[in-house]
């Protein structure tokens, strides 16, 4: 099986004056299409840094990263943005919805950046909002939604462009346990329907819902566990 994601010897070093902080140390991973992976570990272990690099929001100090057979090291800034829009969906802990826009308008944004016809945008947005059970809230503003509902909208926005890779950063961090459980069940269902999901979480219970679990410590892979597929 051809890997969707291949990273090899990724290092990330932040410099501030004479002080250097090594956020990631020689991380290597191969991720196939259709996997559900959780990345966990204590604060400062490098899990969010790794997710940012996978999402092309940050660049490694050295090492290689291939996504869908694209060598991301060779990409210019505008090319990185294009690849991110086409291949990656990103769900943030803080939702990052635009308050002045409706649910429909928020979810439509990635497709508008592609210049898609309005009729195609409308069909795709309505389909994705239906998939996350938010099709009855198209005209609502984010302030009119609960935290769990806002996270569902954020997931719909991340998936509306049919990305190869769904990156999810602490999806339950701002939710109570009931809404957190509902969002995790949604992610599990999306994966069962074919989505490739990489999730950062601090919650061990949610981490174990993924078929492949990676734990980081001090910027290194401490342990990796993969369930057998029935």
pLDDT in tens, 48-101: 999 999 999 999 999 999 999 999 998 999 999 999 999 999 998 888 999 999
Q: Whose CA is closest to 153, among 186, 177, 119?
A: 186
Beta strand spans in the chain (E) = 3-16, 19-32, 36-40, 62-67, 70-71, 88-91, 165-169, 197-200, 212-217, 220-226
- Specify if 138 maps to a domain: yes
* pLDDT tier at 186, thresholds 50, 70, 90: confident
Domain assignment of residue 71, yes or no: no
CA distance 73 to 39: 23
Q: What is the CATH number of the domain that holds 46?
A: 3.40.50.300
Domain-located, residue 189:
yes
Q: What is the pLDDT of residues 21-41, one digit of tens each?
A: 999 999 999 999 999 999 999
**Residue 35, H or E segment:** none
If one counts the domains in the chain, the total is 1
Residue 210 maps to a domain: yes
Question: Does some domain include residue 46?
Answer: yes
Other CB atoms closer than 10 Å to residue 150's CB: what's the count? 23
Residue 2 scores a pLDDT above 80: no
56/38 Cα distance (integer angstroms)? 18
Look up the domain containing 101 and give its range.
34-57+77-226
Output 72 or 227, whichever has higher pLDDT. Answer: 72
**Domain annotation covers residue 25:** no
- Reported pTM: 0.89
Q: Is residue 15 part of a domain?
A: no
């Amino acid at each position: 099986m051809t890997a969707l994601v291949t990273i090899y010897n990724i290092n990330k070093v932040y410099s501030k004056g004479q002080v250097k902080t090594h956020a990631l140390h020689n991380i290597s991973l191969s991720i196939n299409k259709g996997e559900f992976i959780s990345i966990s570990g204590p604060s400062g272990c490098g899990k969010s840094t790794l997710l940012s690099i996978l999402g092309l929001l940050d660049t490694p100090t050295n090492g290689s990263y291939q996504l869908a057979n694209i060598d991301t090291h060779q990409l210019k800034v505008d090319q990185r943005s294009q690849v991110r829009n086409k291949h990656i969906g990103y769900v943030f802990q803080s939702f990052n919805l635009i308050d002045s826009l409706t649910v429909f308008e928020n979810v439509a944004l990635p497709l508008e950046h592609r210049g898609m016809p309005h009729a195609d945008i409308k069909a795709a947005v309505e389909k994705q909002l239906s998939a996350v059970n938010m099709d009855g809230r198209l005209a609502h503003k984010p302030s009119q939604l609960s935290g769990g509902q806002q996270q569902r909208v954020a997931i719909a926005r991340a998936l509306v462009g049919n990305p190869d890779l769904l990156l999810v950063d602490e999806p339950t961090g701002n939710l109570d346990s009931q809404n957190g459980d509902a969002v995790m069940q949604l992610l599990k269902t999306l994966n069962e329907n074919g989505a490739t999901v990489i999730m950062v979480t601090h919650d061990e219970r949610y981490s174990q819902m993924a078929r492949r679990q990676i734990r980081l410590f001090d910027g290194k892979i401490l342990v990796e566990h993969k369930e057998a597929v029935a």
